[in-house]
Amino acid sequence: MSLTGFTRTRVTPDHALLTPDTFVRSSLPGWSQAACIVHISPEMGARFMMYTVEMQSGSTGQMSLLDIQRFAYVLEGEVALEVGGARHTLWANNYVYLPANTPHHFAAASGCRMVVFDKPYQALAGMDVPQVVLGHEPDTPSSPLMGDEALQVRLLLPDNFSFDMAVNTMTFAPGAHLSLVETHVMEHGLLFLQGGGVYRLGDHWYTVQAGDVIWMASYCPQWFGALGKTPSKYLIYKDVNRHSLELLS
């Protein structure tokens, strides 16, 4: 309960910091008996949706829209997934990429939390569409960002032109920071998984910590420095691999 009306949440035209004290639960088509916290959406100015789904025994989920691809990452608990005639069980740090127009069905037998990214798929002429990808984040190889061993990146999706979205984790050793104030055409949706520090977004510097969500619009200047004595880690979405002028045609 907020007795003071204070929150770290900020929403601006080119970025948003959304902290758990301000999360509001609602329903989304396709998700049954599940609470959805929509963090990032076109209403905000984004070209994708990012939301947390809180499931319990009896909760289910499927895709109710055409041409929308989905990436789901399990944060807590366990969920069953049926796709392509196969049944999988996903636990914490398991993730799945579901190409557009791929029928699938999530079902929870107990409590489960997932973060989901839904994005319209933009096909590329002459390029095969992506296949389903299943993975476990800790088993994905990591590599230093721009040679900095203190900042490790894991690419959760294949790095090729059939994909128009990327989802990565970035792990910062205490004191590590982005080497530049990045300013780029890609937009981001980010969930802080552990630790915290200071995030520069536009001309503002924010303290951030595990559980926080950030939206960065295209060209929003961005920088992060990790504080504390344990590593900081976030999950980060971006749109990739497409020519902007194709979007206008």
d(CA 8, CA 150): 28
Q: Could you say which of ligand UGY, Mn ion, none residue 170 binds, taking C-beta under 5 to 8 angstroms by partner kind?
A: ligand UGY
Q: Select 123 or 210, whichever has its Cβ closest to ligand UGY.
A: 210
Q: At 87, which amino acid appears?
A: R
232 binds ligand UGY (CB under 6 A): no
Interface map 41-80 toward ligand UGY (x if CB under 6 A) = ----------------------------------------
Q: At 70, which amino acid appears?
A: R
d(CA 189, CA 239): 10
**Residue from 69, 169, 222, 232 binding ligand UGY (CB under 6 A):** 222
235 binds ligand UGY (CB under 6 A): no
Q: Select 188 or 233, whichever has its Cβ closest to ligand UGY.
A: 188
182 binds ligand UGY (CB under 6 A): yes
236 binds ligand UGY (CB under 6 A): yes
Q: Select 69 or 232, whichever has its Cβ closest to ligand UGY.
A: 232
Q: At 113, which amino acid appears?
A: R
Residues binding Mn ion: number (CB under 5 A): 1
Q: Select 5 or 147, whichever has its Cβ closest to ligand UGY.
A: 147
Q: Could you say which of Mn ion, ligand UGY, none residue 236 binds, taking C-beta under 5 to 8 angstroms by partner kind?
A: ligand UGY
Of the CA atoms within 13 Å of residue 35, those in its CB half-sphere come to 9
Q: How far is the CB of 186 from ligand UGY (least distance, A)?
A: 6
Query: Pseudo-torsion of CA 152, 182, 164, 25, nearest 10°?
Result: 80
Residues 154-193 that bind Mn ion (CB under 5 A): 182
Give the binding site for ligand UGY (CB under 6 A).
Answer: 170, 178, 182, 188, 222, 236, 238
Binding site for Mn ion (CB under 5 A): 182
